[in-house]
Amino acid sequence: MTVVLGPNRYGKAETRVVRVTRDGEVHHLKDCNVGVSLSGAMEDVHRSGSNAAVLPTDSQKNTVYAFAKKYGIGQIEEFALLLARHFVESQPTIHHARVVVEEYSWERRGPHSFARSGTETRTCAVHHDRDGTSTVVSGLRDLVVLNSTGSEFHGFVQDEYTTLPPATDRVLATAVTARWRHVPAAGQAQPDFGKSYDEVRRCLLEAFAGTHSLSLQQTLFAMGARVLAEREEICEVRLELPNKHHFLVDLSPFGLDNDNEVYFAADRPYGLIEGTVLNDDAPDAGPAWD
Amino acid sequence: MTVVLGPNRYGKAETRVVRVTRDGEVHHLKDCNVGVSLSGAMEDVHRSGSNAAVLPTDSQKNTVYAFAKKYGIGQIEEFALLLARHFVESQPTIHHARVVVEEYSWERRGPHSFARSGTETRTCAVHHDRDGTSTVVSGLRDLVVLNSTGSEFHGFVQDEYTTLPPATDRVLATAVTARWRHVPAAGQAQPDFGKSYDEVRRCLLEAFAGTHSLSLQQTLFAMGARVLAEREEICEVRLELPNKHHFLVDLSPFGLDNDNEVYFAADRPYGLIEGTVLNDDAPDAGPAWD
Amino acid sequence: MTVVLGPNRYGKAETRVVRVTRDGEVHHLKDCNVGVSLSGAMEDVHRSGSNAAVLPTDSQKNTVYAFAKKYGIGQIEEFALLLARHFVESQPTIHHARVVVEEYSWERRGPHSFARSGTETRTCAVHHDRDGTSTVVSGLRDLVVLNSTGSEFHGFVQDEYTTLPPATDRVLATAVTARWRHVPAAGQAQPDFGKSYDEVRRCLLEAFAGTHSLSLQQTLFAMGARVLAEREEICEVRLELPNKHHFLVDLSPFGLDNDNEVYFAADRPYGLIEGTVLNDDAPDAGPAWD
Amino acid sequence: MTVVLGPNRYGKAETRVVRVTRDGEVHHLKDCNVGVSLSGAMEDVHRSGSNAAVLPTDSQKNTVYAFAKKYGIGQIEEFALLLARHFVESQPTIHHARVVVEEYSWERRGPHSFARSGTETRTCAVHHDRDGTSTVVSGLRDLVVLNSTGSEFHGFVQDEYTTLPPATDRVLATAVTARWRHVPAAGQAQPDFGKSYDEVRRCLLEAFAGTHSLSLQQTLFAMGARVLAEREEICEVRLELPNKHHFLVDLSPFGLDNDNEVYFAADRPYGLIEGTVLNDDAPDAGPAWD
Query: From D256, which residue of chain B is nearest by alpha-carbon distance?
Result: B161
Q: From the CA of C14, how many Å to the nearest CA of chain A?
A: 19
Chain B, nearest residue to D250 by Cα: B163
% of chain B exceeding 90 in pLDDT: 96
**pLDDT number for residue D1:** 76
Question: Which 3 state secondary structure label does DSSP give D143?
Answer: strand
Q: Look at C163 and A268 and tell me if their CB atoms are within 8 Å.
A: no
Q: For C93-110, what is the mean pLDDT?
A: 98
Cβ–Cβ below 8 Å for D246 and C18: yes
> What share of chain C in percent tops pLDDT 90?
96
In angstroms, the CA A182 to CA D131 distance is 35
Q: Cα dist. B285→A71, B40, C204 in Å? A: 54, 20, 35
Query: Is there a contact between A263 and B17 if contact means CB atoms under 8 Å apart?
Result: yes
Nearest C-alpha in B relative to A263: B18
Q: Is B85 helix (H, G, I), strand (E, B) or coil?
A: helix
Average pLDDT, chain B: 97
Least confident among B171-175, B184-188, D172-176, D256-260:
B184-188
Per-residue model confidence as pLDDT tens digits over A113-141: 999 998 899 999 999 999 999 999 999 99
| pLDDT value at residue A1 | 76
Q: Please tell me the predicted confidence (pLDDT) of residue A188.
A: 62
Question: What is the gyration radius of the CA atoms in chain D, in angstroms?
Answer: 23
Decide: C244 and C175 in contact? Cβ < 8 Å. yes
pLDDT for res B119 = 87
Chains that touch A (3 or more CB pairs under 8 A): B, C, D
User: Per-residue pLDDT for C187 more than 70?
Assistant: no
Inter-CA distances, C61 with B161, B162, B164, C19, C37, Å: 9, 9, 11, 15, 11
Is C188 an 8 Å CB contact of chain B? Answer: no
- Out of B17, B117, B145, closest to residue A114 by CB: B145
- Chains that contact B by 3+ CB pairs under 8 Å? A, C, D
Q: Of D48, D155, D280, which is closest to A51 when you measure between CB atoms?
A: D155
User: What pLDDT sits at residue B273?
Assistant: 98
| Mean pLDDT taken over chain C | 97
0.90 surpassed by pTM: yes
Query: Which position among A57, A93, A121, A276 bears the catalytic label?
Result: A57
Residue A9, CA distances (Å) to A36, D145, D275 in order: 10, 21, 6
Task: Give percent of chain C above pLDDT 70.
Answer: 99
Categorise residue A14: left if φ over 0, alpha if ψ from -120 to 50, beta otherwise: left
Active-site annotation holds for B15:
no
On the question of pLDDT at C137 being above 70, the answer is yes
Q: Nearest 10 degrees: CA dihedral of C24, C29, C30, C33?
A: 130
- List CB contacts (< 8 A) between A253 and chain C: 163
Residue in A62, A69, A147 nearest the CB of B261: A69
Average pLDDT for B240-256: 98
Asked if D257 and D251 touch (Cβ cutoff 8 Å), the reply is yes
CB contact under 8 A, D161 and B267: no
Distance CA B141, CA C112 (A): 43
Q: Residues B139-290: name the CATH superfamily.
A: Urate Oxidase; (3.10.270.10)
Residue C188 has pLDDT above 80, yes or no: no
* Cβ–Cβ below 8 Å for A156 and D56: yes
A16 lies within 8 A of chain D by CB: yes
Whether residue C159 lies within 8 A of chain A, CB to CB, comes out as: no
pLDDT at residue A127 in the model: 98
pLDDT tens-place string over residues A216-247: 999 999 999 999 999 999 999 999 999 999 99
pLDDT in tens, A159-209: 999 999 999 999 999 999 999 999 987 766 788 999 999 999 999 999 999
Determine whether the interchain pair B160/D268 forms a contact, defined as Cβ–Cβ distance below 8 Å: no
pLDDT of residue B187: 65
DSSP B150-189: SB-B-S----TT--PPPBSS--EEEEEEEEEEEPPPSTT-
Summarised one tens digit per residue, pLDDT across range A18-30 is 999 999 999 999 9
State residue A190's pLDDT score: 83
pLDDT in tens, B51-101: 999 999 999 999 999 999 999 999 999 999 999 999 999 999 999 999 999
Average pLDDT over residues C258-268: 97
Surface of C (262-281) touching D: CB under 8 A: 262-267
Mean pLDDT (whole number) for B176-194: 87
What confidence tier does B188 reach under pLDDT thresholds 50, 70, 90? low
The rounded distance, in Å, linking the Cα atoms of C100 and C84 is 10
Q: Is D162 at the interface with chain A, CB within 8 A?
A: yes
Of B62, B119, B148, the CB nearest to A27: B148
Tell me how far CA of residue B214 lies from CA of B100, B206, C3, C45, C144, in angstroms: 35, 17, 20, 8, 45
Contact D6/B at CB under 8 A: no
Q: How far is D101 from chain A (nearest CA, A)?
A: 13
Told to judge if C245 belongs to the known catalytic residues of this protein, a careful annotator would answer: yes
User: C-chain residues within 8 Å CB-CB of B243?
Assistant: 57
- Rounded to a whole number, what is the largest CA-CA distance in chain A? 76
Superfamily (CATH H level) for A6-132 = Urate Oxidase; (3.10.270.10)
pLDDT band of residue C190 (cuts 50, 70, 90) is confident
| CB-based contact D275 A35, cutoff 8 Å | no
**Are A213 and D91 a contacting pair at CB < 8 A?**
no
What backbone torsions phi and psi does residue D275 show, to the nearest 5 degrees?
A: -160, 160
Of D160, D161, D254, the CB nearest to B161: D254
In B, minimum Cα distance to A32 occurs at B265
- Across the interface, whether the CB atoms of A162 and D59 are under 8 A apart is answered yes
- Contact list in B for residue A21 (CB cut-off 8 A) is 261
**C58 contacts chain B (CB < 8 A):** yes
Distance between D46 CA and the closest CA of chain C, angstroms: 30
Chain C residues within an 8 Å CB radius of B278: 3-4, 6
Q: Which of A11, A162, A275 lies nearest to residue D272, judging by beta carbons?
A: A11
pLDDT digits (tens, 9 = 90+) for C198-251: 999 999 999 999 999 999 999 999 999 999 999 999 999 999 999 999 999 999
pLDDT reported for residue B184: 81
Q: Answer whether A251's CB lies under 8 Å from B66's CB.
A: yes
CB-based contact, B257 to chain D, within 8 Å: no
Average pLDDT over residues A38-56: 98
Question: Helices (DSSP H) in chain C: which residue ranges?
Answer: 43-47, 57-71, 76-90, 193-210, 216-230
Query: What is the pLDDT, as a whole number, of residue D188?
Result: 62
Question: Over pLDDT 90: what percentage of chain D?
Answer: 96
CB contact under 8 A, C262 and D19: yes
Distance CA C242, CA C216 (A): 9
| DSSP symbol at A257 | -
Contact D116 C119 (CB under 8 A): yes
- pLDDT on residue B151: 97
CB D275 within 8 A of CB C27: no
Whether B272 shows a pLDDT value over 70: the answer reads yes
Give the pLDDT band of residue C1 (cuts 50, 70, 90).
confident
Tell me the pLDDT tens digit for each residue of B100-120.
Answer: 999 999 999 999 999 999 889
* Partner chains of D (3+ C-beta pairs under 8 Å): A, B, C
Q: Catalytic residue, from A127, A182, A245, A246: name it.
A: A245
| Distances in whole angstroms, Cα of residue A239 to Cα of each of A142, A273, C45 | 12, 8, 51
Is D252 part of the contact surface with chain B (CB cutoff 8 Å)?
no
What average pLDDT does range C145-167 have in this prediction? 98
Q: Contact C122/C102 with Cβ under 8 angstroms?
A: yes
